[in-house]
Amino acid sequence: MLRPAFRWVRRVQPGSAAGAFTSRHLNNSASTAAPDNDSAPKLPPEVTIVEVGPRDGLQNERTPISAESKIGFVNRLAAAGLRRIEAVSFVSPKWVPQMADGAAVMAGVDRPPGVRYMALVPNLKGLEGAVSAKVHEVAVFASASETFSQRNINCTIAESIERFRPACAAAASAGLPVRGYISCALGCPFEGAVPPAAVGRVAEALLAVGCAEICVADTVGAGTPLRAAAALRAAAAAGVPLLRLAAHFHDTYGQALANILTALQMGVTTVDAAAAGLGGCPYAPGATGNVATEDVVYLLEGCGVRTGVDLERLLDASDYICGALGGGRLPAAGAARALLLRRRAAAGAAAQQ
């Protein structure tokens, strides 16, 4: 097992009795402690974090958010070192009004070298919007639960796949890789537990229509490590190579980080997260936010796994979007909340000096 891999470092400013903490004062490096023995979890040396806050994170927010604020959020995420960002979706504004300004957002974002922007598209019309917006990749989605598919998009699983088959073909012609989400892979708000075999069938179907990456998604955050492992094994058994598998876990029941560790130990190297733990599905009753990107970075860096993400700059992005949402918004819990509160306390202390 790993010993606790952190230590607190307190810096006291001249003239200040209390001093201040920032995320840079928190030494969370794996170099501060070594594994006790060879039984330590085997993790990949590097993990890609797909930032889904601008799309999956904001789509369920009731507060209208301007395109300008979304652009500022995306730009700050890119500046933090995140290299794959699901920035927008091209869906009917009637159903997801928060995402109605996708074209304006993509027209305004910075495009630094190495950053790839993704858009969610439900059909060929959505794909056309994504191509016009010059995204780098697109995503489609199918549920592992028949009931959720009917409640979410008013069709069966098989019908949903046929709906976006033309979009996948058009994306291939345009040179855009396609990610295929399997929603409700670890549980459904209407059916309860979802059999791993159902996940495998959808994974096979997504591969057949040309998806280059399959993302196993716990839409309601009800999964546990055993469920996560079973769903990922089912997708792999359907023919998805581990390097083409991704994991997307919501944190409704506080299991997301444990599920991520399970996925990484199985060989998965791509995980989704949302800055400040934003998110929730408008068609999944009870679902809360995605796992916070800050929590994932903090965990992985503490385990010696590279992410390429600057935690301090990531907090810039989270602080910015929480301010745009208003109402004194903060992440619900975890490292995201602790680090952001500490940063605000330090700023307040500095302002009083």
| Amino acid identity at 107 | A
Catalytic residue list? 281
CA distance 54 to 64: 13
- Nearest Cα neighbor of 276 from 328, 224, 228, 221 is 328
What DSSP state is assigned to residue 193?
Answer: S
Residue 212's Cβ-side half-sphere holds a number of Cα atoms within 13 Å equal to 11
The domains of the chain, with CATH numbers, are 48-316 (3.20.20.70)
- Nearest Cα neighbor of 61 from 285, 348, 338, 325 is 325
Residue 214's φ and ψ, nearest 5 degrees, are -115, 125
pLDDT > 70 in the chain, percent: 86
- Spatial contact of 91 and 58, defined as CB atoms under 8 Å apart: no
DSSP bridge pairs for 88 = 119
Residue with tokens 């979304």: 70
pLDDT in tens, the chain (353 residues): 333 333 333 333 434 433 343 444 445 554 444 445 455 669 999 999 999 999 999 998 888 999 999 999 999 999 999 999 999 999 999 889 999 999 999 999 999 999 999 999 999 999 999 999 999 999 999 999 999 999 888 899 999 999 999 999 999 999 999 999 999 999 998 999 999 999 999 999 999 999 999 999 999 999 999 999 999 999 999 999 999 999 999 999 999 999 999 999 999 999 999 999 998 655 555 556 899 999 999 999 999 999 999 999 999 999 999 999 998 888 877 888 899 899 888 888 888 88
Q: Taking the C-alpha atoms of 236, 188, 256 and 227 in order, what is their torsion angle to the nearest 10 degrees?
A: -50
DSSP bridge pairs for 50 = 84, 272
pLDDT, tens only, 22-44: 444 445 554 444 445 455 669 99
Structure tokens at 99: 């995402």
Cβ neighbours for 33, distance < 8 A, ≥ 6 positions apart: 2, 3, 4, 5
Pairing of strands 7-8, 116-120: unpaired
pLDDT for the residue 333: 74
Residue 37's φ and ψ, nearest 5 degrees, are -160, -170
CA distance 11 to 237: 52
